[in-house]
Structure 1
């Protein structure tokens, strides 16, 4: 069945995790493109400020304070969207939390909480959204990670949750396709993104952690998410490293193990002492209203050639042709100067 998705300007979009990082960047980008928005996060005061700012710029938004780990909260989100806008066309499960540290150091209670948010939050959102989208059509977009394909040391339980999200999303997609449901199901898998992820994560390491390079700007991920809201896609990798990591996990897993042991673990450690372990958002919301944390020694890339080539092939092709013509002209000029 060929699935037709609406243009963003004609869509009502539900975005979880909307008060920081990729969720906030996506909300702002979608608002600029005139989508009507239902913004979801735990921090109601931050949600209210974001909605006020976007509405002042001409957007039409509403917010629902909710913990995606709670199924009843997620159902309230859907009910509010239906009451205000008559329904929704895209549902983006972006909310997530992180824990750094060796698996043996992380208490089971924290592991369960992370799964409640990262996995069960996606399950709750997906199942509730699917009931509506099966009748009306639209896009379900789940936030995975490069760790959906390849686990990363010192992010063991986070990697496990993203593996689980991939398994659930792939299965749900197949089931909906078999039914002939008019629902596009996409898994978005970013590499490192300069968000508040590290600042919000609970840390059991002996030093302050950092994300391995290359690190991408949140807008790169936001653009990929919004492309998937308009164009049915199975998977979208954000950043070439995410694609290479997934390929390497299938073709040479043991070699990748050794590479991570030697290079990845040191790259994820800073020389700074760890902050207070209670300074995190695992159980409650903390610092919000920020898209970026600042990548320190790894300044973010504002553009991914790979992701752009996948999501905007015509534009990227035109840029590459233009670059090729410019290079050819430059070489011709140098050749002429040499002959003179």
Structure 2
């Protein structure tokens, strides 16, 4: 990747989307506590204003703009406001996202398109607007992905498809910037399940209510990964060892995810009556909550703690492969 001299977080101006709940809210609080100046973005004006006010009351620097990330012109206005208020943009975090829990055949066309407008085009808009302000002086773009982009799941088909597309965009953008020698780092965070309000805000058309895929991590774990990526040159970063293990296992054993798909899908739903709701796809959702009301998350991750000295995925694959080979040889003797 294209490297640049790291800028201490207390000298950075950070644009953060999806800042009123979940990972975004956790990141806003953490980055502000470390001295970053924040431009906060979300659709819920009241919740957004409260987050910014709380940061300023604690001695931090924050401005906010209610905007839809799917609107390119709105993101350009956000960037202009950040530069007018703070003078520049050092890091842009594309964190806003929405979800749909439904079989693909049961997913309404307008909801499917709306999800891509936020999860894919929102990242595309934010990344390209950020790049227009960073191309000469450098900066960092951080895109929030998921291991679902590598391990798709039934019931979350539309969501994981949008994240798969976003991942391809992110990696292609990184390659283009390296090819052109542009001093902008493009990081892609790939957390496993995170105990945020995402499932509670999701559109649902399924036999049961939405759940975050287990095991779940606390949003603070991902917020710390955002902080790390803002201060160092990172590429793709898996957040949470369980997710990395899942990815490694499915690469080693092609077809494994297909065989266990039915079981996996059941863990995504709190079985019961048919649930049919549009969630917050088309309107601002409730803000101000960092964590899920119904699911708790691990407050630590050995893999996340080790990301400053990451073990390559190949070593994980090798370890799993060695174990599998040992089991095969053992069974033959």
TM-score (norm 2): 0.90
Q: Does the 8 Å CA contact 1:200/1:286 hold for their aligned counterparts?
A: yes
The answer as to 2:285 corresponding to 1:289 is no
The answer as to 2:302 corresponding to 1:305 is yes
- Report matched runs for 1:81-96 at 5 Å: 81-96=82-97
Partner SS for 1:204: strand
**Could you list the per-position Cα deviations for residues 223-259 of structure 1 after superposition, in whole angstroms to 9, with x for gaps in the alignment?**
0011000011111111112212322343223022112
The separation in 2 between residues aligned to 1:245 and 1:234, in whole angstroms, is 19
**Could you list the per-position Cα deviations for residues 27-70 of structure 1 after superposition, in whole angstroms to 9, with x for gaps in the alignment?**
00001001000000011111111111110100010001100011
The answer as to 2:226 corresponding to 1:225 is yes
Post-superposition shift, 1:275?
5.3
Post-superposition shift, 1:267?
1.3
The separation in 2 between residues aligned to 1:143 and 1:154, in whole angstroms, is 20
Q: Which residue matches 1:43?
A: 44
- Report matched runs for 1:124-143 at 5 Å: 124-143=125-144
Post-superposition shift, 1:213?
1.4
- Report matched runs for 1:111-150 at 5 Å: 111-150=112-151
Q: Which residue matches 1:14?
A: 15
The separation in 2 between residues aligned to 1:115 and 1:253, in whole angstroms, is 27
Q: Which residue matches 2:175?
A: 174
Q: Does the 8 Å CA contact 2:200/2:210 hold for their aligned counterparts?
A: no
Greater radius of gyration (CA): 1
Partner SS for 2:5: coil
Q: Does the 8 Å CA contact 1:185/1:234 hold for their aligned counterparts?
A: yes
Stretch moving more, 208-217 or 237-246: 237-246
| Residue-pair matches, total | 309
More helix by share: 1
Partner SS for 1:270: strand
More strand by share: 2
TM-score (norm 1): 0.88
List structure 1 runs of 4+ shifted beyond 6 angstroms.
none
Q: Does the 8 Å CA contact 2:18/2:96 hold for their aligned counterparts?
A: yes
Unmatched 5+ stretches in structure 2: 311-333
Unmatched 5+ stretches in structure 1: 314-340
The alignment's C-alpha RMSD in Å is 1.4
Post-superposition shift, 1:206?
1.8
Post-superposition shift, 1:271?
3.3
